[in-house]
Amino acid sequence: MKKIWEFFENMDECMYVADIDTHELIYMNKKALNIYGFKSVDEVAGKKCYEILQNSSSPCKICNNEDLSVGQFKEWRYFNPILNKHFILKDTIIEDEGRRCRAELALDVTFEEQQKGMVDNYRDLELVVNNGIRVAFQATSPDEEIDIILEYMGKALNADRVYIVEKDEKDFDNNTYEWCADGVEPEKDSLQNLVPDICRGWYDMFGKDKDIVIADIDKLKVEEADVYDILSRQNIKALVAVPLYTDGKISGFYGVDNPPQKYMEYAHNMLQIVGYFISSCIRRRNLLMQLENMSYKDALTKLGNRFLVEKFVKRLDKNKCIGAVYCDITGLKNVNDTQGHEAGDKLILRASDCLKKIFSDYGIFRIGGDEFLVLCPEITEDDLYKKTEQLKECSKKSNSLMAVGAAWRENFYEGLDKLLTESEHNMYIDKSEYYRKAGIERRKF
């Protein structure tokens, strides 16, 4: 005669029976045998239930045998770490030929639990993202907004680093923003002017609507050796990266380094959502930069204009020394009149290139059609006049002759006017000397 539990043989749920007193397994149906890797009941018969089911050397602490009774089912939920599955368990006592047996039916609800977990995660994710964006919106500039949201994401994900990489006009990649956890070395300065080939594979993936999710960078050793070298040098073990868009085109990407493995999918979802906010910040940053360039930059030379001089001066420390260099392009009017304004523009550009070459560390401004001003905070008097002579030599060699006058002050308490007056006066002396030696009528130039 068949045992009662044998009716469960072909069920799609797991079923086992064990002796309550000895804990010896008596029966496992096909589903249970299969899930534990056995082929027949003979392989498990007589073995302890806790050895097989829980990989334990002693009876389970969670065993509820004392709560069971004949004809009554006790239902409870349990996550089995051996199988990595969630179950609803239905337990009862069956009497069989004088011995009491524990019968347990297990319904696999792993999928339902995962779905529930995903819902909870997405609900939590929405709250986390919204709070981060709310905090970032309190910032006073797009740059500050980006810095705040990267820090917020890094801490929320327990990551090592969150960063943004943007393409420049030469198609090179540059790390433009970065947040690092305590003890993590910044990498921003070392990730500038990366040639396009290094990240080309990633951009190809982005172009196919695929993001970068790397749980183990060792897998890149062979096929993406250049990328692997860069990542391993930064002590990156895992990362997630998603593209950023400007005007509908991929303009860069941003990512997170070394999030815990359990957060990889969560990190991916967060980056996808926050990417829209970051792209918006970058667009507003670019717009502000364009407006500032229009307001403060000379259109031809890209140097600061006279409006930027005032802004530059406000940031100066009046206790520190300062030098000023006033320049005037010699012969610009004659070039414009005889060769045309295109030739005149080229002359202006040659002169500005000389200024950029000699005074690259200081403030350079085009303050008139043929006039330039250089302000040099914290320069020594000797260095100022050495650079002035270097500028004259450069302008001669580049056929962009300039009259140059310089002035120096130990501090800036007198303000800008007296410094400019003296440097401009010295420039006119230099120009007059040039005309005198050349025997040229100045009004023609």
- Res 249 pLDDT > 80: yes
pLDDT tier at 441, thresholds 50, 70, 90: low
- Res 221 pLDDT > 80: yes
- Which of residues 116 and 272 earns the better pLDDT score? 272
Does residue 352 contact residue 344 with C-beta atoms inside 8 Å? no
User: What does the pLDDT read at residue 127?
Assistant: 67
pLDDT tier at 113, thresholds 50, 70, 90: low
User: What percent of the chain has pLDDT above 90?
Assistant: 50
User: What does the pLDDT read at residue 112?
Assistant: 66
- Res 119 pLDDT > 50: no
User: What does the pLDDT read at residue 445?
Assistant: 45
- Res 107 pLDDT > 50: yes
User: Domain 4-108 is of which CATH architecture?
Assistant: 2-Layer Sandwich (3.30)
Distance CA 121, CA 132 (A): 16
b/e 12-50 (16+ beta carbons within 10 angstroms → b): eebbbbbbbeebbbbbbbbbbbebbeeeebeebeeebbb
Does residue 211 contact residue 240 with C-beta atoms inside 8 Å? yes
Element (H, E) at 244: strand 239-246
Each residue's pLDDT tens digit, 414-433: 778 888 899 999 999 988 88
Each residue's pLDDT tens digit, 147-164: 999 988 888 888 999 999
Q: DSSP letters along 118-156, please?
A: HHHHHHHHHHHHHHHHHHHTTSSSHHHHHHHHHHHHHHH
- Homologous superfamily (CATH) for 306-444: Reverse transcriptase/Diguanylate cyclase domain (3.30.70.270)
* Mean pLDDT of all residues in 51-70: 86
Residues contacting 276, CB < 8 A, separation 6+? none
- Could you state, in order of their start, the residue ranges of all structural domains in the chain? 4-108, 114-294, 306-444
User: What does the pLDDT read at residue 111?
Assistant: 66
DSSP category for residue 48: B
Each residue's pLDDT tens digit, 369-402: 899 999 999 999 999 999 999 999 999 999 998 9
Average pLDDT score over the chain: 87
User: What does the pLDDT read at residue 118?
Assistant: 44
- Res 260 pLDDT > 50: yes
* Mean pLDDT of all residues in 271-282: 90
* Mean pLDDT of all residues in 209-220: 89
**Pick from 25-39, 64-78, 381-395: least confident:** 64-78
User: What does the pLDDT read at residue 80?
Assistant: 79
Strand partners, 126: none
pTM of the model: 0.54
User: What does the pLDDT read at residue 384?
Assistant: 96
* Mean pLDDT of all residues in 7-29: 91
Same fold, 4-108 and 114-294: yes
Backbone torsion region of residue 71, taken as left when φ is above 0, otherwise alpha when ψ lies between -120 and 50, otherwise beta? left
User: What does the pLDDT read at residue 444?
Assistant: 45
User: What does the pLDDT read at residue 414?
Assistant: 75
Q: Which CATH number fits domain 114-294: 3.30.360.10, 3.40.462.40, 3.30.450.40, 3.90.870.40?
A: 3.30.450.40
User: What does the pLDDT read at residue 265?
Assistant: 85
- Res 244 pLDDT > 60: yes
- Res 282 pLDDT > 70: yes
Residue with token string 């999918």:
265
pLDDT tier at 126, thresholds 50, 70, 90: low
